[in-house]
Structure 1
Amino acid sequence: MKSNNINHKIMTATKWSTLSQITTKLMLPISNMILARILDPSVFGTVALITMVISFADMIADAGFHKYIVQHEFNDIVEVDITFNVAFYTSLFLGGILYIAIAIFSKVIIDSTNSSLPFYMLIISAIQIPLSTLSSTHIAILKRELNFKKLFRINFASTFVNVSITVFTAIIGMGIWALILGPISASISVCVLTYLTAKWKPSVKYSFQSLIKMMSFSIFSLAESISIWLTVWIDIIIITASFNAYYLGLYKNSLSMVNNLMAIITSSIAPVLFSALSRTQNDPINFKNIFLTIQKITAYFVFPIGIGLFLFRDLATLILFGDKWIEASLVVGTWALSSSMVIVFSHLNGEVLRAKGRPGISLIVQVTHIMVVIPTLILASHHDFTTVVIFRSIIRLEYILGSVVATGLISNISISDTLRNIVKPTIFTLSMSIIVVILKNLVFGFFYQFAIILVAALAYFIMIFIFAKEDLKIFSMIAKGSGNDEI
């Protein structure tokens, strides 16, 4: 009964999480398509530096408490309440301290990146840091409860605010301010909505004993988050040092667009997977079944997206950014292809490590990867931008190997289990790719490519319908997922 109940909650959560990500993540690429035709690539490169600083501060302010709340099994309601309070007030304090520090050293930070960005823009943008701490605990609670229906409403509203203000201010000629005011407005809306809809409200309670207990787990989770941040941003740091803002804008905006497209699937599944695995961490059979099911669902979606963006990278770049961004097509194609593999074999495996309470293992995988990435990119940057792009995508395969091995060591999910699990989506995707390559060599022209895409997509779905009917039942269960979301 318990297994059936958690499975039902997972299906319901996945449905709402998927709906949330499809609606919100589609708005971001659409707005980006508009902005790319209004703003120069160098503007995106400049804002990338602000985003890098703020994302790092957000991570430190969270201190790993978000994952602790989702993953930890509490003894009683008293422990639950004091833990939530400790997480809320500690994050709020850290967020305030970090904002003050950034405000004081803003000019030093800007000068260290060789950017021409006015220091006051960083100070204004950094207000997102304390704002995010006001809502982070409430969001973690909703994820713990698998209440993705409420998260859908919050995410949709905040994304709509972000896109509306960003596009409007860009159209009226506010330039870089458009990319600053939109995210700040979104942060404000998240704070308001989470407070108005939250069942839990902070009270005047605090326990340093609970803080020490939480930090014993969170310190590894925080270290892991820092290593992930470094993995995500190290190429930005190196490109900033080796190239100009134009190439940084090409690179970062292309990555952001691909990641947003992929996140339509991954951001809807990963939070549900972590919450579900955390709730079944002491039930190895159900734990394994949940992981393999969600991994297969993910593979069916991201494999064709990744290979499709690679094969039609020029067309995708023209549609997403316009002809002045065509130099970014290689970034779009290689990053999409490598991302599809990393998502299935690494990102989901990382949720296994965290759900098992072993962020230290994930940290080792991340640090090992960073030790490979840094010297590789430094050497590649001595050549040209194209070399950096190609090597950055190839080197991600090392991360896949480390993640799969680590997952096998701390769980009953072996490499052979994973390979058998994704055989059908892999074969179907490769078959679809062969069809595309053949048709692209037979017909030429911009509009013919759309016809090829339709034929390939139809072939892919026919193969699923004929050879994987049992997997269609999983999609049907998610689509029909319903029930009490107030878990």
Structure 2
Amino acid sequence: MKSGEGKFPRISIPNLGWQALKWNYLGNIIRSLSQFVIGILLARMLGPEPFGIVAVAWIILGIGNLFADLGFGSALVQREKLSTLDLRFIFTCQMVFAVFLTASGILSAQYVAAYFHKPEATLVIQAMFFLFVFQALGQTAAAVLRRTMNFKTLQQITVMSYLTGYILIGFPAAYFGLGVWSLVAAQLVQSLLSSILLVRATSVPLTPYFHRGSPDIVSFGLKVTAANLSSWSISNLDTVFIGRAFGVIDLGLYNRALTLLNTPMNMIATGFQGVLFASCSRTQNDPAKIKRIYLETNAAVAAICFPIFVTAAVVPETIILGVYGAKWQAAVPVITPLSLAVLVNALLAIKGPILMAGNRVGVELKNQIYTILLFVPALFITIQYSLIAVAWAVLATFMVRWILLTIDTLRFTGATAGEYASTFRIPILFGAGVSAAAAAAENFLSFLAPFARLTAVAAVAAISLLIFLRLFGGRFLKTNMGTLVEVKNLSGFARRFLNV
């Protein structure tokens, strides 16, 4: 901290590294499981249309969120030195811009609703634009917690606010027939409560400060904002085209299918992202350590994700009918391409934090622009055919983005293509073996009711994975994750099971 600029806000700094990863992972698992269960229950209560209307609002909110933070949250984490004046400047900029975005959204909501042929969605979109102000109240505080790697406090607040918003507000509102407004109210309460708790946990100064902070904060923040915008375009242009071409019902089907798949992906990959960015930012001058972190994290994510998403790709009907019920039958064909796309996205998720920590945001931005130039024509072509064709275009686009970013990430970390490829050998084996067992079980148990069949197929997949872990897990752990997971810290049962 610079002298003469006031005390840094109150914050407890926990143990770093494994403790941060543990709490971030635990929080993401609890939140993702909660979202998974609550999303299923609300989907059964409300049906596709309310989710389609909210998805329309989130298309615009997603764009606004890319700018609302102005990239300053990431700059705050990445920066080596930080002052109280920097925090005040960042908070002031975020709040002013949030008010601007909210006002702009309220004025433009009717045009957004008309674009999607849903004029009755105007009031819903206007109400949801207040999320910008509610989120901005806690953005700086959340960045302070990430910078100090205090993921325990951050995750506790995130989970508590989500459960409060959806269990105490969302469910009762849906039960009493408020439809889409139950989703709106739950999200607004969640966001406001989260920000209040974040500010209380960190005591971030809320006094406005309009003088520009350090130039490198502004420069880094603008590059992050541009990268986020291009990343959002890749992740959300499909919903824009689908909503316009096929309507809100098909958009709701597509959105719920993608959300179902993104839930475990977020639970897995997002748990690494925050810790990766913070830890690599603190060790950005140690290339050997960053290389080791990248390869081992990639191996861990691949080992977890290949069995899950390759299996989902081969048993789509069992998943959709077992989870959502017969009214969501039309979503079955998009599950296969979207499962594979989400798998690729999980591998992409760990590249961004490493490049950002090394101040290589421009590299990521360049590759994303190339991807967008391919994605837009692909969407224009595929919406002329079907929703399924769009889903396959999404997979192809994510593959191109993965190839481009892999090349640059290997160059930055100094890892070779051979070292990178070696991290996939066992994960691919896991994915192929588990998915084959699941497909066989689905075929053999086709006479069962959907939920019973889903349960049985999931059990077969889990047992198959345990067998593969028993046979190959120990070797994979020692070869590809030797420093990320120390064998001596494993329980006796885990060491015996893995033969290490």
Alignment TM-score, normalising by the size of structure 1:
0.91
Give the alignment partner of residue 269 of structure 1, picking from 272, 281, 302. 272
Q: For 1:117 and 1:150, locate their aligned partners in 2 and report how far apart those are by CA, in whole Å.
A: 40
3-state SS of paired residue (1:277): helix
Highest RCO, 1 vs 2 (Cα 8 Å, sep ≥ 6): 1
Residue of structure 2 in register with 1:293 after alignment:
296
User: 1:128 corresponds to which letter in structure 2?
Assistant: L
User: 1:127 corresponds to which letter in structure 2?
Assistant: F
Of 30-39 and 106-115, more deviation after overlay is shown by: 106-115
Distance 1:204 1:48, change over 3 A: closer
Residue of structure 1 in register with 2:9 after alignment:
none
User: 2:185 corresponds to which letter in structure 1?
Assistant: L
1:197, distance to aligned residue in structure 2 (A) = 1.3
1:319, distance to aligned residue in structure 2 (A) = 2.6
Q: How does 1:70-469 map to 2 (within 5 A)?
A: 70-74=77-81, 79-164=82-167, 165-203=169-207, 205-210=209-214, 212-344=215-347, 346-446=348-448, 447=452, 450-469=455-474
- Asked if the contact 2:341/2:394 (under 8 Å) is kept, the reply is no
Q: For 1:372 and 1:30, locate their aligned partners in 2 and report how far apart those are by CA, in whole Å.
A: 36
Q: For 2:350 and 2:71, locate their aligned partners in 1 and report how far apart those are by CA, in whole Å.
A: 18
- Asked if the contact 2:79/2:217 (under 8 Å) is kept, the reply is no
- Asked if the contact 1:338/1:393 (under 8 Å) is kept, the reply is yes
1:8, distance to aligned residue in structure 2 (A) = 6.8
Give the alignment partner of residue 12 of structure 1, picking from 7, 19, 23. 19
Q: For 2:460 and 2:125, locate their aligned partners in 1 and report how far apart those are by CA, in whole Å.
A: 48
1:295, distance to aligned residue in structure 2 (A) = 1.7
1:47 aligned to 2:51?
A: no
Distance 1:478 1:84, change over 3 A: farther
3-state SS of paired residue (1:155): helix
3-state SS of paired residue (1:468): helix
- Asked if the contact 2:110/2:119 (under 8 Å) is kept, the reply is no
Give the alignment partner of residue 32 of structure 2, picking from 25, 28, 31. 25
User: 1:40 corresponds to which letter in structure 2?
Assistant: G
- Asked if the contact 1:439/1:452 (under 8 Å) is kept, the reply is yes
User: 1:464 corresponds to which letter in structure 2?
Assistant: L
- Asked if the contact 1:128/1:187 (under 8 Å) is kept, the reply is yes
Distance 1:39 1:440, change over 3 A: closer
User: 1:208 corresponds to which letter in structure 2?
Assistant: R
Q: For 2:165 and 2:333, locate their aligned partners in 1 and report how far apart those are by CA, in whole Å.
A: 29
1:229, distance to aligned residue in structure 2 (A) = 1.3
1:388, distance to aligned residue in structure 2 (A) = 1.7
3-state SS of paired residue (1:201): coil
Give the alignment partner of residue 37 of structure 1, picking from 44, 47, 56. 44
3-state SS of paired residue (1:361): helix
3-state SS of paired residue (1:37): helix
Q: For 2:46 and 2:20, locate their aligned partners in 1 and report how far apart those are by CA, in whole Å.
A: 38
1:461, distance to aligned residue in structure 2 (A) = 2.1
Q: For 1:280 and 1:478, locate their aligned partners in 2 and report how far apart those are by CA, in whole Å.
A: 25
1:128, distance to aligned residue in structure 2 (A) = 0.7
1:230, distance to aligned residue in structure 2 (A) = 1.1
Residue of structure 2 in register with 1:485 after alignment:
none
Deviations 1:215-238 (A, max 9, x none): 211111111111111112111111
RMSD between aligned alpha carbons? 2.4
1:205, distance to aligned residue in structure 2 (A) = 4.4
- Asked if the contact 1:82/1:206 (under 8 Å) is kept, the reply is no
Q: For 1:169 and 1:149, locate their aligned partners in 2 and report how far apart those are by CA, in whole Å.
A: 31
Distance 1:180 1:7, change over 3 A: closer
Of 130-139 and 50-59, more deviation after overlay is shown by: 50-59
- Asked if the contact 2:65/2:132 (under 8 Å) is kept, the reply is yes
User: 2:108 corresponds to which letter in structure 1?
Assistant: F
Q: For 2:320 and 2:443, locate their aligned partners in 1 and report how far apart those are by CA, in whole Å.
A: 20
1:422, distance to aligned residue in structure 2 (A) = 2.5
User: 2:315 corresponds to which letter in structure 1?
Assistant: F
1:203, distance to aligned residue in structure 2 (A) = 4.2
Q: For 1:478 and 1:318, locate their aligned partners in 2 and report how far apart those are by CA, in whole Å.
A: 43
Deviations 1:24-48 (A, max 9, x none): 1111111111111122312211111
User: 2:154 corresponds to which letter in structure 1?
Assistant: L
Query: Any stretches of 5+ residues in structure 2 without a counterpart?
Result: 1-12, 492-500
Query: Any stretches of 5+ residues in structure 1 without a counterpart?
Result: 1-5, 482-487
1:381, distance to aligned residue in structure 2 (A) = 0.6
User: 1:347 corresponds to which letter in structure 2?
Assistant: A
- Asked if the contact 1:380/1:391 (under 8 Å) is kept, the reply is yes
1:72, distance to aligned residue in structure 2 (A) = 1.5
Distance 1:173 1:7, change over 3 A: closer
- Asked if the contact 2:53/2:121 (under 8 Å) is kept, the reply is no
> Identity rate of aligned residues, in percent?
23
1:435, distance to aligned residue in structure 2 (A) = 3.0
User: 1:179 corresponds to which letter in structure 2?
Assistant: L
Residue of structure 1 in register with 2:497 after alignment:
none
Q: For 2:103 and 2:440, locate their aligned partners in 1 and report how far apart those are by CA, in whole Å.
A: 59
3-state SS of paired residue (1:117): helix
Q: For 1:353 and 1:468, locate their aligned partners in 2 and report how far apart those are by CA, in whole Å.
A: 29
Q: For 1:229 and 1:222, locate their aligned partners in 2 and report how far apart those are by CA, in whole Å.
A: 10
Q: For 1:480 and 1:159, locate their aligned partners in 2 and report how far apart those are by CA, in whole Å.
A: 32
Alignment TM-score, normalising by the size of structure 2:
0.88
3-state SS of paired residue (2:385): coil
Question: How many positions carry a matched residue from both structures?
Answer: 470
Distance 1:439 1:57, change over 3 A: closer
